[in-house]
Amino acid sequence: MVAVAECFRGDGELLANPIGTIPMIGGRLARATFEPDLAMTDGEAALVANDRAVVPPDERVIEYWNPYRSMFDWVWSGRRHVMMGASQVDRYGNQNLAAIGDYGRPRVQLLGYRGAPGNTINDPTSYWVPNHSPKVFVEKVDTVTGIGWDRAAALGPAARFVDIRRVVSNLGVFDFETPDRRMRLRSVHPGVTVDDVVTATDFELETAADVPESRLPTPEELELIREVIDPEGAREREVPDPD
């Protein structure tokens, strides 16, 4: 959650749009602590000011009516930082949400392209992967739905708004702050070794000689998550507490 929150540090006043339980809690944590001006959705048709991640409809503090169609106003104007899922992601941050196998006759049909092409070409994008494995962190994704840094480089000026920021998995945090924008292991979560991450990754990761550990939540952040943002413990259903 803290690693997710850190993805939004420095974003200021834009639509932070983390999709999924853990990303939503992490985004709320960022806003409740170091990024107070982030705007966030209720997962449906409103931008809400509540710190709590899942709010009963009549307890929402609504800032703006945001039907699905309005989302493209934010996306196309560059005022959104989305955190999407990825069924596959590769070393340059190309994402696949659409289908596993040959696209024409897929082995496994997934959701579709959704908004990934438009998100990645227009706005900062990060990814959340709760199940880090060589089947997800692949050498080459089967279908590029969200474009990565290599595709952006090939496009030239047309890709000037592309900004694939981070990937957060259940094992560590990854960025693309390398000369050729290959994925780099930025930190490993407590209890995870660099070897664990390398073994669970199908491509060669850039790793520093001394990879730091992801920072732990502060006591204040822990209290916020437990008491305010996610009092029902929805987070435990996605990443079980190791205790």
Partner 1 sequence: MTDKLMTEEEVVGRLRSGMTIAIGGWASRRKPMSIVRAIVRSDLADLTIVTHGGPDLGLLCAAGKVRKAIYAFVSLDSIPLEPHFRAARQAGTIEDEPLDEGLFHLGLQAAAWRLPFLPSRAGLGSDLLRDNAGLRTFTSPVPGRNGEGEELVAMPAFRLDASICHLNRADRRGNAMYLGPDLYWDDLMLQAAPDGGRFISAERIVETADLRDQGCIHQLRISRMMVDGVVSAPGGAHFTLCEPDYPRDEAVQRAYAASAGSPEAWAAFRAEWIDVAEAEYQRRVGDTTA
Which residues of this chain interact with partner 1, rule CB under 8 A?
Answer: 44-46, 65, 67-69, 72, 75-76, 98-99, 103-118, 120-122, 143-147, 151-152, 154-155, 157-159, 161-162
Strand order in the sheet with 163-169: 15-18, 80-84, 124-129, 163-169, 172-175, 184-188, 206-207
Of residues 161 and 213, the one with the C-beta less far from partner 1: 161
Nearer to partner 1, 112 or 233 (CB): 112
55 versus 194: smaller Cβ distance to partner 1: 55
Of 12, 57, 64, 60, the residue nearest 38 (C-alpha): 12
CB of 239: closest distance to partner 1 in angstroms? 18
Least gap, CB of 120 to partner 1 (angstroms): 7
Q: Which is nearer to partner 1, 20 or 217 (CB)?
A: 20
Look at residues 199, 134, 225, 137 and name the one whose alpha carbon lies nearest to residue 174.
137
Element (H, E) at 221: helix 219-223
Quote the CA–CA distance of 22 and 55 in Å, as a whole number.
15
Q: Give the nearest distance from C-beta 150 to partner 1 in angstroms.
A: 9
- For residues 138 and 144, give the distance between their C-alpha atoms in angstroms, rounded to a whole number: 12
Task: Report, in Å, the least distance between residue 116 CB and partner 1.
Answer: 7
Q: Which is nearer to partner 1, 130 or 217 (CB)?
A: 130
CB of 139 to partner 1, least distance (A): 16
Nearest to 85 by CA among 144, 127, 56, 52: 127
